[in-house]
């Protein structure tokens, strides 16, 4: 069995190429100590939390690496910005890789390719491969990406108010979002810290137009209680430092998790 951390993107700028392995994103994201478990199955297809489902991203991995089926269990909400599709694809690929002696980055690149082809993500698999707080400096698959990794140790609060499928955002005109993402990636890199990650991410979320009024209201409530907060990319939710009390004012799923440095494990 393989465990892969959920990941949250704080800042991003998309890069799409005809070659999926050259596609990806610049930006900053982090992994947490909750995620997805994968175990190969004798039954054909994908099973998530005990139910047979259509999951094209994971099915792509199964076909590419010649496996029959996989059972997945997610500890975090799906389609809410926690990189579940990336974690599921990577956990499946690594579970196959362990059994078939496939090199790590070869398997990881297949998971990334599956995400790009199915428009379910661009940078999560890279973040999940390296773990911790990951600044993606060169877009592309895990074997091609260039990253800076920061071992910031923090316990974070999360509020999930709804879904925001990645595919819906990628259908927009991305020029302004991408330009804004690169601007705030540079701002974070000038002073890499937890505090500046929240500040740069919040500015990106608001200036890019991705954060709606509900998200902004939560961020302002957290700040009024002395905490810091920003938008989960891409989901209708917020991650925060010292945000628990403020979250009590809002409806949605609430939980706490630590930033996780060891983002994948063989169990």
3-state secondary structure of 209: coil
Whether residue 166 is predicted with pLDDT greater than 80 in this model: the reply is: no
Domain with CATH 3.30.70.890 in the chain: 155-257
Q: What is the mean pLDDT of residues 64-78?
A: 97
Residues 227 and 49: their CA atoms lie apart, in Å, by 34
Please say if the pLDDT value at position 4 is more than 70: yes
- How many Cβ atoms are within 10 Å of 243's Cβ, its own excluded? 26
- For domain 2-149+262-266, which architecture applies? 2-Layer Sandwich (3.30)
Query: Mind listing the pLDDT tens digit for each residue in 194-238?
Result: 999 999 999 999 999 999 999 999 999 999 999 999 999 989 999
Backbone angles phi, psi at 136, to 5 degrees: -90, 110
103, 97 contact by CB (below 8 A): yes
The per-residue pLDDT for 164 is: 72
**Structural tokens at position 248:** 């009590």
**What pLDDT score was predicted for residue 165?**
63
pTM: 0.95
pLDDT at res. 168: 65
Q: What's the CATH number for 155-257?
A: 3.30.70.890
The pLDDT tens digits of the residues spanning 244-253 come to 999 999 999 9
Residue 40 has pLDDT above 80, yes or no: yes
Q: Give pLDDT tens digits for 173-182.
A: 688 999 999 9
At 114-135, the pLDDT tens digits run 999 999 999 999 999 999 999 9
- HSE-CB of 129 using CA atoms within 13 angstroms: 28
Mean of pLDDT values over 140-157: 97
Written as six digits, the tokens of 193 are: 């810290």
| pLDDT tens digits along 87-111 | 999 999 999 999 999 999 999 999 9
Rounded mean pLDDT, 17-39: 97
């Amino acid at each position: 069995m393989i465990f892969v951390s959920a990941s949250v993107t704080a800042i991003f700028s998309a890069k799409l190429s005809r070659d999926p392995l050259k596609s990806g994103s610049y930006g900053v994201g982090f992994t947490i100590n909750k995620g997805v478990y994968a175990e190969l199955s004798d039954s054909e297809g994908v099973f998530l939390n005990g139910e047979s489902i259509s999951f094209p991203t994971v099915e792509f991995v199964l076909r590419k690496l010649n496996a029959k089926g996989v059972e997945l269990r997610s500890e975090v909400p799906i389609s809410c910005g926690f990189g579940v599709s990336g974690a599921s694809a990577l956990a499946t690929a690594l579970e196959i890789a362990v059994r078939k002696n496939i090199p790590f980055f070869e398997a990881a690149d297949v998971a990334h390719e599956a995400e790009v082809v199915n428009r379910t993500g661009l940078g999560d698999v890279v973040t999940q491969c390296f773990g911790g707080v990951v600044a993606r400096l060169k877009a592309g698959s895990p074997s091609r990406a260039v990253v800076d990794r920061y071992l910031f140790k923090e316990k974070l609060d999360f509020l999930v108010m709804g879904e925001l499928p990645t595919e819906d955002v990628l259908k927009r005109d991305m020029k302004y979002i991408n330009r804004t993402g690169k601007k705030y990636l540079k701002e974070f890199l000038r002073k890499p810290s937890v505090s500046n990650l929240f500040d740069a991410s919040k500015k990106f979320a608001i200036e890019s137009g991705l954060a709606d009024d509900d998200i902004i209201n939560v961020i302002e409530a957290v700040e009024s209680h002395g905490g810091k907060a920003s938008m989960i990319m891409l989901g209708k939710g917020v991650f925060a430092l010292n945000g628990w009390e403020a979250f009590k004012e809002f409806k949605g799923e609430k939980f706490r998790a630590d930033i996780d440095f060891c983002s994948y494990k063989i169990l």
